[in-house]
A and B are shown apart, each in its own frame.
Chain A
Amino acid sequence: MSWAVTLDDVGRRYRAGGRWVLRGVDLEVRAGTLLRVEGGNGSGKSTLLRLLAGVEAPSAGRIRGLPGTRGYVPERFPAALPLTAAAYVTHLGRVRGLRGRAAARESTRWLERLGAGPYAGTRMRELSKGSSQKVAVAQALVGRPALLVLDEAWTGLDQSARAVLDEVVRERVAEGGAVVFVEHDPARLAAAPDAVVRIAAGGLAERAERGPRARAGTEPRPRTPRLRIEARGTPGAGAPAGLPRGARCRVTPEGVLSLTVPAAASDAALRTLLAAHPGWHVRSVREEDAAREEDAVQERGGPVGPAREEAGPG
């Protein structure tokens, strides 16, 4: 089945005459594609996802071709519902058209696949944050909705559940569903998206299209995001041993270390630095591009501020 959701000059604001949270968005999401939405805090990513999930109607423009069933994982899922995890997911399965036992079976299957099987019978308000996030993911997957909208769905999941979700997303796309996601970890599904949409200051600024993979014989290899870690150690110390593969390391005689690693390996690199003897004092973790720009500004004699600290992935 082939379908496409089209957003035509879509805008959203929460009261008449209020601030536009999102404005002038033109977007198409086709069946069988994976779309990543990027943007800073408060740029309207979550609002765009709620529009795509059909939870909200746009204040301006039109959305056409929304498939009948959508799955939506909200950014925060405070599951203070008086139902058990299994009962809740089963209800959502029925809402998506599964009948009687099939709904219960599928709900159990998803909960077990995500590793939430042991607490399927636990009331949702008694679940831990990570466990209720698994329920949030399971309710979106049950009944196999055509369009899956994930708003930082990986946050709070344990490693194995994250891997399962990665796998499910690939499966859904391969089966002809569409998946739209927001995720703060730049390495998440980095090689997979067919398109990346970046939202800047309440509108779509750019769209990097890679075309549906079904047609593209050879997928252009994406540039893996890299992080630069800067640290200070004792003068004369050499490069620390045991850095992850793919790390580029430079140490000045004064003991200033500059390390460039793939984003996915940054946690491992930081752990190595912190565990090393003599120790390294981490001064900043930045995206490589940002670091390069700042260094260029410094070299030109521009304003010199303290190193901007950014959270690493994971």
Chain B
Amino acid sequence: MRETLALTRYQLALLVRSQRWLAPLLLYAGLLAVGVRAGDPVLDSLGFAAAALLPTAVWLVRVCVTAEPAAARHCAAAATGPARAHLAGVVAGAAAAAVPGGAAVGLVTAVSSRWSTDGGGAIPVASAVVAGVCGVLTCVAVGTAVGVLCNRPLVGARGYAVAMSLLGTVVALVAGASPARAAVAALSRASAQGSVDVPWVELLCALAVAGLAVCAACAVVGRRP
């Protein structure tokens, strides 16, 4: 556990110093600027903020699992094992996505109107924040799963990896079975009905999906270093 934390810290240091976090973060900021307006219903805006975080998470996970040149990756893998080294990269990417997601929940809650879509029901701030955080974490988890499944070690070539990441992002946002889509839909449904519906089940499903994806990737990473 300590080794994995140390490796995650190393991966986060690489991410912060490399400035490769900048582009995904700008994407997220741009999407929020387009999609969130002051005075819009809070739960609708939180749903959008969560959905927009999914491609950001996919991108950040890709950045983290491809941050090191092969030689440096081998050195870190030798220290504790390739699976742990890969896990650390994934955790770093997911954490890096959760940070702007948390900030967005705060920002969106602050500028949005605390009413349902039709203006008929007041939305309590605390439950809006809880529902927003759940939605954001669901999208981070699904984005992490997409990022893990569409990059090394499972997809090696850069072109395929990027194409599959894009495709995976779209599928995760529109497919009926996707926990991310379900969580976003739950938020907008709650906004329409004026009653907060925290998407717990979606979050647990998303975490399970992400866990399975990470297990699959870590299981093969030794064979495809």
Chain A positions within 8 Å of B, measured between CB atoms, are: 50, 53-57, 59, 68-83, 87, 91-92, 94-97, 136, 139-140, 143, 145, 149
Q: Least Cβ distance of A190 to chain B in Å?
A: 26
Q: A54-B82, A71-B78 are in contact. List 10 more A-B contacts (CB 8 A).
A: A55-B78, A70-B79, A81-B68, A82-B17, A82-B18, A82-B19, A87-B13, A95-B10, A136-B71, A145-B78
Residues from chain A with Cβ under 8 Å of B69 in the complex: 78-81
CA distance A81 to B14 in the complex (A): 7
Q: Least Cβ distance of A94 to chain B in Å?
A: 4
CA distance A145 to B78 in the complex (A): 10
B80 touches which of A50, A69, A76, A81 (Cβ 8 Å): A69
Residues from chain B with Cβ under 8 Å of A143 in the complex: 79
B71 touches which of A74, A87, A94, A95 (Cβ 8 Å): A74
Known: A56-B222, A56-B223, A59-B223. A94 touches B10 (CB 8 A): yes
Is B81 engaged at the interface, CB distance under 8 Å to the other chain?
Answer: yes
Residues from chain B with Cβ under 8 Å of A72 in the complex: 74-75, 78
Residues from chain A with Cβ under 8 Å of B2 in the complex: 97
Pair A94/B6 contact, Cβ less than 8 Å: yes
Q: Least Cβ distance of B92 to chain A in Å?
A: 12
Residues from chain A with Cβ under 8 Å of B80 in the complex: 68-69, 95-96
Known: A54-B82, A95-B6. A140 touches B71 (CB 8 A): no
Residues from chain B with Cβ under 8 Å of A50 in the complex: 74, 225
Residues from chain A with Cβ under 8 Å of B19 in the complex: 82
Count of A-B contacts judged by CB separation below 8 Å: 93
CA distance A57 to B223 in the complex (A): 5
Total contacting residues, chain B, CB less than 8 A = 27
CA distance A3 to B7 in the complex (A): 26
Known: A59-B223, A83-B14, A87-B13. A54 touches B71 (CB 8 A): no
Pair A55/B6 contact, Cβ less than 8 Å: no
CA distance A87 to B74 in the complex (A): 18
CA distance A145 to B75 in the complex (A): 12
Is B164 engaged at the interface, CB distance under 8 Å to the other chain?
Answer: no
Residues from chain B with Cβ under 8 Å of A76 in the complex: 71
Pair B17/A53 contact, Cβ less than 8 Å: no
B79 touches which of A57, A80, A95 (Cβ 8 Å): A95
Is B34 engaged at the interface, CB distance under 8 Å to the other chain?
Answer: no
**What per-residue 1/0 map shows which CB atoms of B7-40 lie under 8 Å from chain A?**
1011001100111000000000000000000000
CA distance A90 to B214 in the complex (A): 27
Closest to A12 in B: B223
